[in-house]
Each structure stands twice: as structure tokens, then as C-alpha cells.
Amino acid sequence: MNPRRTAIALPLLGALVLAGCGSATVAARVGGRTITTSELDAELADVAHNTAFVDELQANHEPVWGPHHQSYTALFVDNILSRRITIVRVQEALAREHAAVTPVATSLASALAVQSAGGQAVFAGFPTSYQRRLIRDSADIVELEAALAHVSLAPAAVDAYYRAHPSQFVTYCGSEILTSTPTLAEAALAKLDTGQSFALVAKTSSTQNPSGGGALGCGTEGQYAASFGSSVARAVTSLPVGKPSSIVQVANGFAIFEVTSRSELPFSQAELLAADSMIANGQTLLNRYLASTARSGGVSVNPALGRLEVVNGVLSVVPTVPRGAALASQIVTPHAAS
């Protein structure tokens, strides 16, 4: 069970394609910072190097490559550039806040960067230097979220939060017997009442991980809520260890729960969870900040690459040509843009 996903992930958006951008050297300007076309080309290559990530895009009908892998689709280019513009805006805001990235923020950022990319196996497919860059990007985001939430992610502050909120750091290992009807759930509960073990009844009666005895895994109440919903979280965390619950109607059937163990996470294991909890509303604050400053950050983009548009509060680079057949006939050729 993982912490919440960071707001600015690698793009997983669909694409047609965009016109080649000639010999210009400026991809975009953000305040006093220039993003060059060579920097953009390098980032495109780093992302496209990850075949597992590209395969995910292709599986979602979101192509990366133009003809013969010598060019890219337009929205792939525009989304990478949009993301880099947003990161620069975050960095400029951090500088105005005089906020330094703490070691805790960097550690949390590492976990979030992996999660945002789709897991460790996918993340490992990026070049090592780009992995480090993604973690730095994520650390800047985390630290700005903390600044906007007026909290400190210094180790002492995180430790104080941990000590002040002990109930957030109790971890529960739980199991579930899931059935399709209340009659089947009642039959399973009757077996438990005769003394059969929860794992054995799950193996014979549950549609939820029967081979694993119905095990759900271990996590805090918040992590259970994020993974399985608040009703499951309440049902699991309110139980004594080893005592089956009554029948609970859930989204996909009728369930019986059991807590197999309960323990308090030591600070060494809870530090990142505590830091993430401290900025639980940080993503909302960050999105609000980015939306409110979308037109005031001195951002411009090379018109050969696209145009700036605020879409659902997000300042993005979008193709200059309309969607449809005209867009499908255009490409971005990296070596022609540098």
C-alpha cells in the first residue's frame, strides 16, 4: 500500500502528431529560465528510452513514435514540455519562498517518483541520470507542497507529527472472505462459528485471493481506505485481532473480515508516511497555486512546438494545428529542432 500519487506524473496522454520545428534553439521560456530544444530533445530521448513505459503508452493507444522511430508524436512532445515548464515554475516558486529541499522530502520524493512512473520495474527502465532528475523534480514538488501548507519537513517536525498522531501509524494485517451473495456469506460465517480457521474458509468460499487465505496485506487505516475504500478500512480497523467481523456489504459483494495482527509502526518505518500525511492537502494547494499563476509566470513557448493554453486550470502546451486529419500528418523530428 503506497502513499498518494504526486500531482505531476509522467504524461500518459494520447497523441496524434505535430509539425517539425525547424532550427530554433528555444523550446520555451519560463520567467528568467530558458528551456532549449536540445534540453527537450534529451528529455524526450530519456523517456522514450524506457521501453516498458513506452509499451504502457502503446497499450493505452497513446503512441510515442512517429515514422521509423525517427520522430515523436505531437502530444508526447507537448506533454513532456508541459511537464518541464511546470517543474521550472515549481522551482521558481520555491526560490521565492526561500525553501530548501530537506532530506525527508527527498526520501519521500524517491518513493513518489517510482510510484508516478508506474512502479520500480518501469522506473528502472529510465537512464540512471534521468531517474535522479525525476527524484529531484518530485522533491521540489513535495517541498513546495509543504511550503504552501505552511508545514516543515525537517526531521524534528516530522517526528513531532508522528508522536502527536499515534493512531495514524498503527498497521493492520487483514484478510477477507468475499462472496457474491449474502446467503454465501452467511454460510461462510457459519463455518467460522464451528471453529474452522479463517484462512481455510477463505480458500473454499472466497472469491478474494482464496489461494492466499483471503489475505489483503498490511497497512494503516488510511492506506486501507486508499486501496479498498473507507467501508473496508472501518471494518478492518475496528476489529479485535483474530475475531471475524459480521457480514459487510461492499462494492463487489458481501464480505467478512479478520485482523490477523495489529502493531504500531516505529518512527524509522513511519517517517515517510508521517511526512506524506503532513502534506495531505498539498496536492490540492499546489494545483490551486499553479492554476492561479497560470498566466502570470512569464511563460512563452516556441510556436513551432505548440501554443500555451489553460486546460482545466493547468497551463499546457497544445498543438498549433487542429485535431483530426491535419494533426495526424505532422511530426516532430528531434535533430531538426536542435
- Residue ranges of the domains in the chain? 26-153+279-337, 168-268
Q: What is the pLDDT of residues 264-293, one digit of tens each?
A: 999 999 999 999 999 999 999 999 999 888
**The predicted structure's pLDDT at residue 8:** 38
Could you tell me the pLDDT band of residue 296, with boundaries at 50, 70 and 90?
confident
Mean pLDDT value of segment 232-250: 90
Pick the CATH number of 168-268 from 3.90.1640.30, 3.40.50.2000, 3.40.50.880, 3.10.50.40: 3.10.50.40
Q: Rounded distance, CA 10 to CA 329, Å?
A: 25
pTM, 2 dp = 0.78
Q: What is the DSSP letter of 293?
A: T
Pick from 74, 89, 91, 82: nearest CA to 11: 82
The amino acid present at 155, given as its one-letter code, is P
Q: What is the pLDDT of residue 260?
A: 93
Can you spell out the DSSP letters for 213-255?
TTEEEEE-HHHHHHHH-HHHHHHHHTSPBT-----EEETTEEE
* 328 pLDDT tier (thresholds 50, 70, 90): very low
The DSSP bridge partners found for residue 30 are 33, 299
Per-residue confidence at 99, pLDDT binned at 50, 70, 90?
confident
Q: What is the pLDDT of residue 111?
A: 94
Per residue in 113-164, pLDDT (tens digit) is 999 898 999 999 999 999 999 999 999 999 999 999 999 999 999 999 999 9
